[in-house]
Amino acid sequence: MPNSPSEPSGSSGSSELSGSTGVAAGGAGYDLAVIGAGPAGLAGVVAAADRGLRCVLLDAGGGLGGQYYRHPAAELRAARPDRLHHHWSTFTALSRRLAEHREAGRVEVRLRHHVVLVQGVPLPGAPPVSGASTGWRLHTSSGVESGAGSTGRVDARAVLLATGAYERQLPFPGWTLPGVVTAGGAQAMLKAGLVLPGRRIVVAGSGPLLLAVAASLAAAGAEVPALLEAGGYLGYARSPGTLAAVPGKLAEGVVHGAALARHAVRPRTAHAVIEAHGTDRVRAVTVARLDRTWRPLPGTERRIACDALAVGHGLVPQLELATELGAATRTVPDGTLALRVDAGQRTTVPGLWAAGETCGVGGAELALAEGELAAATIAGQQPPAALLARRRRLRAFAELMAAVHRPGPGWTGWLSPETEVCRCEEVPLARITEAVQELGAGDARTVKLLTRAGMGWCQGRMCGPAVACLAGAGAGAEEPAADRRPFSCPVRLGDLAELPSD
């Protein structure tokens, strides 16, 4: 099913976006392609353009800012978008600098462009950027949402991956009910569309994001009858030096705490939602106290009426484009995989840089520092010592945060055999247990082949961490390898057919 005509093939770097200022990209394309317009990508592209590199910035979303700086569409005319953000002025300052670079023809911005595939290609003519021996061809898909889709390609001598993260979910009975949403999803819909999933919203899971989500939901008018953290906060106190080195993080915690207190929301630690109830939508949840391994303690169950539940268990770096290219990963203390980068934000693939959550979830401030640092080394410069020190302090805090909120193995104690683990393919726990215990599956891939868990639309983004845990439980399992997929997101057959064969 061929779609509307794509941009002319071979015109790498053509500026087909109306209103955008084209960068005069010749046959060799751009110096740098930045994938992702969140904090890391914005900081990276601005700092790279400051250093004279010709850049293209691509993002799948319709606006700049990524998930962190997600904000209402211009048509909603929000006079105070800052009220849903910390450090909003950082974003407006970066946006201003980006606009200047666009006007000067140093940066082109392509929004609503999904980068589906990155290929290494020899780029004739231009000298390599900082030791990269080849260049890159980015295959994009745009207009996916509206159906007026087209494919495109962009050539660049270096790539900065700033693709961010999505949320980690741990299943529980009833988590597929309408009205049960991810904590970040509730936040995203509020920030962009000024809507709430319900009026009485329980917030649960683990990680500091929950504090921000609960505070903004309450500020926007929701009643938040419970805010439940499955882990604790005391773990931070084990590393007082790491904590003291990032006073901004403490201040942020105080701001959230004050906002929550203003709305009479008191966080409870070592508590989780172990079941959501309802038929057409969530009507109530059962919460329970957890032991240190996150196993629910019998007799502590309590039912709370609500019409929505915002739940999440931390974030998972989004790595598809890099792992397909063979970039090495490391295991973060929270059990997720992140890209392995050196002091200059270089991945193990020459010519491929990464910054922000792709290198391990650490928040916007760290992402900004890493984006700037990557830009310096891409331009062949030595990054300022102060920037390196800031990155080191914030990265140390990120590792501490990951360890503090790492899911305990006892979470499987709240599952029942009927609990759906894979939302897309509707695979219940019983089928996964059968695959592991009776059919001998010992890893997520085998479980997937036997049960279809992770084979649906989302390609395991929602159930992957849970399936890996269930597949490896107790077997002295090896660290899971990164998924390698030829495409970063589902691609239409028509778009595939349009990919040039060279």
Partner 1 sequence: MRRPRPGPRTPAALVAATPGPAHTIEFDGRAIPALPGQSIAAALWAQGIVAWRTTRVGGRPRGAFCGIGACYDCLATVNGRPNQRTCLLPAAPGDTVTTQEGHGHAELAV
**DSSP 8-state symbol, 502:** -
Cβ closer to partner 1: 436 or 462? 462
| Of 275 and 372, CB closest to partner 1 | 275
Angstrom CA distances, 460 to 270, 418, 423, 452, stand at 27, 19, 9, 10
In the complex, minimum distance from the CB of residue 384 to partner 1, in angstroms, rounded to a whole number = 33
- Residue 30: phi and psi, rounded to 5, are -90, 160
Shortest distance in whole angstroms from residue 291 CB to partner 1: 29
Of residues 158 and 435, the one with the C-beta less far from partner 1:
435
User: Would you call 418 helix, strand, or coil by DSSP?
Assistant: coil
- What is the closest distance, in whole angstroms, from the C-beta atom of residue 419 to partner 1 in the complex? 13
Taking the complex as a whole, the smallest distance from the CB of residue 157 to partner 1 amounts, in Å, to 29
Neighbouring residues of 286: CB distance < 8 A, sequence distance ≥ 6: 273, 274, 275, 277, 301, 302, 303, 304
CB contact set of 342 (below 8 Å; sequence gap of 6+): none
How many CB atoms lie under 10 A from the CB of residue 338? 24
Nearest approach in angstroms of CB 418 to partner 1 is 11
Closest CB to partner 1 among 176 and 293? 176
Q: At closest approach, how far in Å is the CB of 2 from partner 1?
A: 16
Sheet order of strands, 271-278 included = 271-278, 282-289, 302-305
Contacts with partner 1, residue ranges (CB under 8 A)? 60, 62, 67, 72-81, 83-84, 144-147, 166-167, 176-182, 184-190, 192-198, 219-221, 280-281, 308, 423-426, 456-458, 461-462, 490
Q: What is the 3-state secondary structure (H, E, C) of 84-101?
A: HCCCHHHHHHHHHHHHHH
Of 54 and 168, which CB lies nearer to partner 1 in the complex structure? 168
Minimum distance from CB of 88 to partner 1 (Å)?
A: 11
**242 vs 318 by CB, closer to partner 1:** 318
Q: Is the CB of 47 or the CB of 211 nearer to partner 1?
A: 211
Helices (H), 267-335: 320-324
How far apart CA 499 and CA 67 sit, in angstroms, is 29
Nearer to partner 1, 278 or 442 (CB): 278
Q: How far is CA 431 from CA 419, 450, 469, in A?
A: 10, 9, 15
Contact by Cβ (8 Å): 383, 412: no
In 3D space, the residue among 170, 413, 466, 211 whose CA is nearest the CA of residue 294 turns out to be 413
- Closest distance to partner 1 from the beta carbon of 64 (Å): 15
**What is the CA 241 to chain-centroid distance, rounded?**
28
